[in-house]
Amino acid sequence: MKMKNKRMQWDRATLSFISYFVLFVFGMACLLPFLIVLTSSFTSEKALLRNGYSLLPAELSVDAYKYVFTNPIRILQAYANTTLVTLIGTVLAVGIATMTGYVLARRDFKWHNGFSFFFFFTTLFSGGLVPWYLMCSSYLGFKDNYIARVLPLMFSVWNVILAKSYMKGIAFEIIESGKIDGANDLQIFAKLIFPLTTPLIATLTLFTALSYWNDWYYSMLFISKQPMQSLQYMLQQILASIQAMKQLAASGEMATVNAADIPSAGLKMAMTCVTVGPIILLYPFLQRYFIKGMTIGAVKG
């Protein structure tokens, strides 16, 4: 018996050790790249060119940030329009998703199954990218218009399904009591059901806001005017243009700019930090809601 106990303790210890080790390695693999980007953005260009990007800065410098902020207008514009688009889009998206989910969850509504399938079918089959693109650009005037950044992310069938199954979990008696009190269907939604869905609202808001904030695709497709482009798309454009500038300068085609004058290696990292910085700072506060959201989504059915 004693032998066996010892054995079990040994197994427990190895399992425990391996668990810590695995999570440590994977956690570091996820965290270190972010730290390397951060420290590289504070490293002098000379040191970067000599040693490459690394965790420990050989020579501290804020030159890259100075370069970024010599002309901050484009960054500020991108921040402003992305914040606004995210706010408006998220409010609309959450409003529509919960309202639609509520109607589909009303089992006393004769056509709730019919409409559910009407929405759900669009996740199974689509006309493809080309017809959708032609619809948006030729008929709906998406080109260089803010609706191109709000509308595509404003509605998602998955959010409706999530809302529907969440509201199905709310006792039907609440709706019936509302009816008896003479409230109409809209009042029942706004006054009785909506206040009971806080976890759902939080989840939908966070995920929708994140997809608006991280969007570059719809700017790439429809927006050619620089001041209207989203933050992430601006980053993509700037990273690409730094590369191009460096190549041009190196080939001597740009006589006025010296290749060594542009802190290109550091600049890329500084631009990246400027773009992700705020969201990473918010991240510790938001994280637990995301985890909750994931499990709300998982137990539906």
Partner 1 sequence: MINREKSVAPVSLRHESFLDTVRKSRLLLLMLVPAVLYVVIFNYLPMSGIVLSFKQFNYRDGIFGSPWNGLDNFRFLLLSGKLLSLTRATMLYNLGFIIVNTFLEVTIAVFINEIACKPFKKYFQSFIFLPYFISWVVAAAIVQAMFSYEYGAVTKIITLITGSAVNINTDASVWPALLIMLNSWKTVGYGSVIYLSAITSIDPGLYEAAELDGANKWQQIFHVTVPNLLPTIVIMTLLAVGRIFRGDFGMFYQLIGNNGVLLRETDILDTYIYRSMLGNSNLGMTAAAGFYQSVLCFVTIVAVNAVIKKTAPDYSLF
Among 30, 73, 171, 255, indicate the residue that binds partner 1 (CB under 8 A). Answer: 30
If the CB atoms of residues 84 and 282 are measured against partner 1, the closer one turns out to be 282
33 C-beta neighbours (distance < 10 Å), count: 12
Alpha-carbon gap, residue 163 to 204, rounded angstroms: 9
State the nearest-atom distance from the C-beta of 256 to partner 1, in Å.
24
If the CB atoms of residues 14 and 258 are measured against partner 1, the closer one turns out to be 14
Query: Is 206:290 a contact under the CB 8 Å cutoff?
Result: yes
177 binds partner 1 (CB under 8 A): no
State the nearest-atom distance from the C-beta of 125 to partner 1, in Å.
5
| Closest residue by Cα to residue 106 from 29, 185, 203 | 185
Among 216, 245, 248, 289, indicate the residue that binds partner 1 (CB under 8 A). Answer: 216
State the nearest-atom distance from the C-beta of 124 to partner 1, in Å.
6
Among 55, 87, 244, 250, indicate the residue that binds partner 1 (CB under 8 A). Answer: 55
State the nearest-atom distance from the C-beta of 196 to partner 1, in Å.
17
Near partner 1 by CB under 8 A, which window of 63-71, 77-85, 185-193, 196-204? 185-193
Rounding to the nearest 10 degrees, give the CA dihedral for residues 138, 140, 142, 146: 170
CA triple 164-157-201, angle to 5 deg = 50
State which of positions 243-282 bind partner 1 (CB under 8 A).
265, 268-269, 271-272, 275-276, 279-280
Alpha-carbon gap, residue 24 to 207, rounded angstroms: 27
Q: Which amino acid is at 157?
A: V
If the CB atoms of residues 5 and 256 are measured against partner 1, the closer one turns out to be 5
If the CB atoms of residues 27 and 227 are measured against partner 1, the closer one turns out to be 27
Near partner 1 by CB under 8 A, which window of 70-78, 82-90, 231-239, 247-255? 231-239
Near partner 1 by CB under 8 A, which window of 63-71, 128-136, 192-200, 253-261? 128-136
| Closest residue by Cα to residue 62 from 43, 34, 46, 49 | 43
The residues, ordered by sequence, that sit 6+ positions from 34 with a Cβ below 8 Å of its Cβ are 280
Question: Over the Cα atoms of the chain, what is R_g?
Answer: 26
Among 135, 174, 244, 260, indicate the residue that binds partner 1 (CB under 8 A). Answer: 135
86 binds partner 1 (CB under 8 A): no
228 binds partner 1 (CB under 8 A): no
Near partner 1 by CB under 8 A, which window of 78-86, 174-182, 194-202, 232-240? 232-240
CA triple 285-289-291, angle to 5 deg = 115
State which of positions 58-77 bind partner 1 (CB under 8 A).
none
33 binds partner 1 (CB under 8 A): yes
Among 76, 124, 255, 281, indicate the residue that binds partner 1 (CB under 8 A). Answer: 124
Among 90, 116, 197, 229, indicate the residue that binds partner 1 (CB under 8 A). Answer: 116
